[in-house]
Amino acid sequence: MRITRRQFLKHAFSLGSIGLLASYPIFIERYIVLTNIYRISMPNLPKAFSGFRIVQLSDLHYGLLVPLELIHHVVERANRLKPNIIVCTGDYVHERNSTTQIDQIWPILSKLSAPSGVYSVLGNHDHWADTERSDYWLKKTRQDLRHKVFPIRRDGQKLWIAGAGDLYEDHKGLDFVLGQIPDADCRIVLAHNPDSADTTFSKRIDLMISGHTHGGQVNIPFVGPPVLPVHNKNYSSGLKRSPQGCNVFISKGIGWAICPVRFNCLPEIAVLELVPDTTEMPHSTNQKA
């Protein structure tokens, strides 16, 4: 059967369209990194910290399909956002039982800079790669908040930043960290896995900042993410409320874990702008890279 030029072009266009659609989640959307700005009403926030700006990086997963060029780009953008602090919530590499990726990404992460400091904790992948080497870089870069607390001072008032261990590989209980903070003081906890908010603890948490879920990576319209690597399926992305009444913010992250795709779930650099507690719900604005 002879095919006309018009029929050939029609079939070629159809095949090309199918190929583009198939490749989009793997080769296109995963590299469109948004800056998402969230205005978060926070209980017990001292007035001096109204408008305090936190930039969060999470789940970079440097490795296959996440090149160092992308990591450089994300770090440079984070610094340009003029944060008061930068927080990093783990899973910086994708490898297992090796220090190669750890030693390649951390010199780049060491370039993060903010007036009131950069604070980082580890995720499960950082432990799976090499706990000792990951911890070495935390300390070398002076970003180490693993099982530690740090007070940030403004106009005679304090806001505490606390670092939890990874829920799977390094969990010591949140009271272990929170017990170092005066009971009346406002505190933010960095915990890679948002399920940490559902563990047993007695101390108050005003805001937990997490990652780990990647927003599910695939977000089906009217259905949501079909796969979330957490027990509490409410912890997808954005600001959530734990059963214990704790505010939990979850970043969509940068890289991938289970499957190298992103669909309707763009990678993000999250910017959290803190305001004193009100009944107003948080909102976000998106800016493409």
Residue 149's domain is classified under what CATH number?
3.60.21.10
Percent of the chain with pLDDT over 90: 83
The tokens for 13 are 């266009």
Average pLDDT over residues 206-233: 96
CB 231 within 8 A of CB 242: no
Query: Does residue 26 sit in the same domain as residue 84?
Result: no
Average pLDDT over residues 203-224: 96
CB 179 within 8 A of CB 26: no
Query: Does residue 135 sit in the same domain as residue 240?
Result: yes
Percent of the chain with pLDDT over 70: 86
Q: How far apart are CA 144 and CA 187, in angstroms?
A: 17
Query: Does residue 39 sit in the same domain as residue 137?
Result: yes
Element at 208 (helix H, strand E): strand 207-210
Q: Which residue has the higher pLDDT, 236 or 30?
A: 236
Average pLDDT over residues 125-150: 98
Nearest to 261 by CA among 20, 60, 23: 23
Query: Does residue 99 sit in the same domain as residue 148?
Result: yes
* Per-residue confidence band for 6, with pLDDT thresholds at 50, 70 and 90: low
97: alpha, beta or left, given left = phi > 0 and alpha = psi -120 to 50? left
Residue 114: HSE in the Cβ half-sphere, 13 Å Cα cutoff: 26
CB 224 within 8 A of CB 183: no
Domain ranges, residue 11: 1-31
Tell me how far the alpha carbon of residue 107 is from its chain's centroid.
19
Pure H helices in the chain = 5-23, 68-80, 100-109, 124-140, 174-178
pLDDT score of 22: 41
Q: What are the tens digits of pLDDT across the range 52-61?
A: 999 999 999 9
pLDDT score of 120: 98
CB 183: neighbour CB atoms within 10 A? 9
pLDDT score of 18: 35
Query: Does residue 18 sit in the same domain as residue 63?
Result: no
Q: What are the tens digits of pLDDT across the range 76-124?
A: 999 999 999 999 999 999 999 999 999 999 999 999 999 999 999 999 9
* Per-residue confidence band for 30, with pLDDT thresholds at 50, 70 and 90: low
Query: Does residue 154 sit in the same domain as residue 282?
Result: yes
The tokens for 19 are 């190929």
Give the CA dihedral 225, 230, 236, 238, nearest 10 degrees: -170
* Mean pLDDT rounded to a whole number for the chain: 90
Query: Does residue 201 sit in the same domain as residue 82?
Result: yes
Query: Does residue 129 sit in the same domain as residue 228?
Result: yes
pLDDT score of 34: 97
Q: What are the tens digits of pLDDT across the range 186-207?
A: 999 999 999 999 999 999 999 9
Query: Does residue 185 sit in the same domain as residue 79?
Result: yes
pTM: 0.89
Query: Does residue 106 sit in the same domain as residue 221?
Result: yes
| Domain total of the chain | 2
Query: Does residue 116 sit in the same domain as residue 21?
Result: no
Query: Does residue 194 sit in the same domain as residue 256?
Result: yes
Average pLDDT over residues 118-141: 98
